[in-house]
Chains A and B, each alone.
Chain A
Amino acid sequence: MVGSTTVGFRVLVTGLYLFLLAPILIVVPLSFSDDNILTFPPTSWGVRWYAQMFEHQALVNAFQVSLSLAAIVTVLSLAAGIPAAYALHRFRFRGRDALMNLFTAPLLLPSIVLGLSILLVFVKLQLLATFVGLVVAHLIVTTPYVVRIMSTALTTLPPSVEEAATMLGASPLVVFRRVTLPLMMPGLVASAALSFLLSFDEVVISLFITGPHITTLPVEIFNYVESRTDPLIAAVSVVLVAATLLVVLLVERSLGLSKAMGK
């Protein structure tokens, strides 16, 4: 067969996968290091950095902020993004394509530029280093994905199905609740999971608008790594990767990941 691969090619691909996954895989053994400094392989093993993690007040606080932030951002992203996607799908009006482009445009702006821009406006709006400010800033990161995913989900939903419900006597609200919403569920779950992960991992924009009194976990990790090098962050990373895996598995269990990705 023409497509068959040589041994050399397989070795090359294996090496490339190793390269791709190495920085994620390395933190797992490192998190069980008992050393004071960053050295690999560790000279002795232990779980002291996991214990340290819970005693590091700044990290714990930042974790709590990030968690509630991601939860609120997820809810608000869906609340803003789904009606918008629905309106763009259901109504025809001039400037409809332009609005769609506007809603997804923040995806194209580099986050370093977006972060600075938001900083410059938030200074005036007194939103700097506030929880509300973080929510608003994260929304601009998550909503483009929500609008895009939901638009895709809606285009696979034939309008005649909703019309059929209408003809059978369902009022617009009932049509939405009984037909539209259930059929949008896969897109909705995917949007929610993605919003949560994006907000929880967001770092560049947050760096611009967090302050000494309020900071998110990725920002705290960034600051920590920048100033100190010890295995504490490895322990944190393992927890984060495990949590991400959990979210992905939950989505996979509820509807199948490939389906959620809209494939």
Chain B
Amino acid sequence: MTLAQRTLDPRPAHSAPAARPERGHLRLEGVTKRFAGDVNAVSDVNLDLERGKLLGLLGPSGCGKTTTLRMIAGLLPITSGRILVDDDDISLRPPHQRDFGLVFQNYALFPHMTVAENVAFGLDMRRVPKAEARRRVAEALELVRLPGYGERKPREMSGGQQQRVALARALVINPRILLLDEPLSNLDAKLRDEMRREIREIQQRLGITTVFVTHDQVEALTMCDVVGVMSGGRLAQIGTPEDIYERPASLFVADFVGRTNILDCEVLNGHRVRLGDGVYSCAATTIRPGKAKVAIRPHRINLTPHRDRALLSTSTNSAEGRVLRTTYVGDIVQYDIDIGGPTLQVETPTHGRGLAVAVGDKLLCEWRPDDMLVFER
């Protein structure tokens, strides 16, 4: 940051952020990060996030999701491309002038300050008068359901409480955009569920544009308006949670989001594939005949006792199979079923009575052609 840049900046960081209706429209254009050694950590990421929406960046570790978040935050300089907020190019603006809130994976609370001082820090930087700051700190702590905790030191609080303080600290400055870097990964499963709901509720109540980085697909699907799946530094697919789950754009997305059977197949034409010994109808595909992969969700396969065969509808795929293994998970039962070549994993909900299926039983597997997606190998 240069002095000139700061004075020319139309929105100085120290002015109290007024509630402007158009605040928080985030756009990334061809954002790329190259580290030393010519490896592209992030390549050509494009996205357009409407005001007030929650975007989840989902991917395995090393996919570039955190790097993307840090570039948006300004903590990492971008190699090329542009980042725009409300049509204002902020690519070169230093992080402390971006007016974004960031919640870190490890919370990053200031250990030498009390909770109230932590939350007040951003207001202090913005020269907010003491009395107003006190009021807003109290409000923010109220918002995250920690009223009266202001005088504690961070180390005296549990992980979940520290998480809430970090959230309050990021929200109290009324940021243009809220960034969350795997905020729930250090919490235990139960607390994670609770915080997931709470973060989503606060985000919707405040109508704050939010980018949320996670490796947990449940988090991405349940919390977000838009999900961007990243792989190898690229945005593999971006869309609503339903798009991502029902219409994965690639084998990677199908495999990464939710559980799925991925099997070798041979495409016969635009709507038929050969799988093992059988030929089945699949969702319409443009892949040319030849070797390919097919994906079927385990819970989209119905199991029927063999004797009910007569009830089959002709528009449904069906295959005879032999049970190789059953695994009782609690809410579901998983079956490994040999359908003459490939082995299908099938999941059925438990009812308390059970299907009374044993290893070696013969069953019929049924699934709709639309649930059978074909991808390039």
Contacts and interface: CB of A to CB of B under 8 A. Distances in A.
A–B contact, 8 Å CB criterion (strictly below):
yes
Contacts of A179: 110
Contact of B125 (A163, A172, A174, A183): A174
A168 interface: yes
B154 to A, nearest CB: 10
B97 A169 contact: yes
A127 interface: no
Interface residues of B, number: 31
Contacts of B98: 167
Contact of B104 (A163, A175, A178, A183): A163
B129 to A, nearest CB: 16
Interface in B78-102: 94-102
B126 interface: yes
Contacts of B104: 160, 163-164
A158 B108 contact: yes
A183 B97 CA distance: 24
Interface string A155-192: 00010110111111111101100110011000000000
A167 B125 contact: no
A175 B110 CA distance: 11
Given A163-B102, A164-B102, A165-B121, A171 B96 contact: yes
A182 B112 contact: yes
Contact of A169 (B108, B112, B173): B173
Contact of A167 (B1, B95, B106): B95
Contacts, number: 70
Interface residues of A, number: 19
Contacts of B75: 163, 166-167
Contact of B110 (A161, A166, A167, A171): A161
B101 A165 contact: no
Complex A-B, nearest 7 residue pairs according to Cβ-Cβ distance, in ascending order: A168-B122, A169-B125, A160-B108, A164-B108, A167-B102, A160-B104, A166-B95
25 contacts: A158-B108, A160-B105, A160-B106, A161-B110, A163-B73, A164-B109, A164-B110, A165-B110, A165-B121, A166-B75, A166-B96, A167-B75, A167-B170, A168-B101, A168-B121, A168-B122, A168-B169, A169-B13, A169-B14, A169-B173, A171-B1, A171-B96, A175-B96, A179-B110, A183-B111
Given A161-B108, A164-B169, A169-B13, 9 more contacts: A160-B104, A160-B105, A160-B108, A164-B109, A165-B121, A167-B100, A167-B102, A174-B125, A183-B110
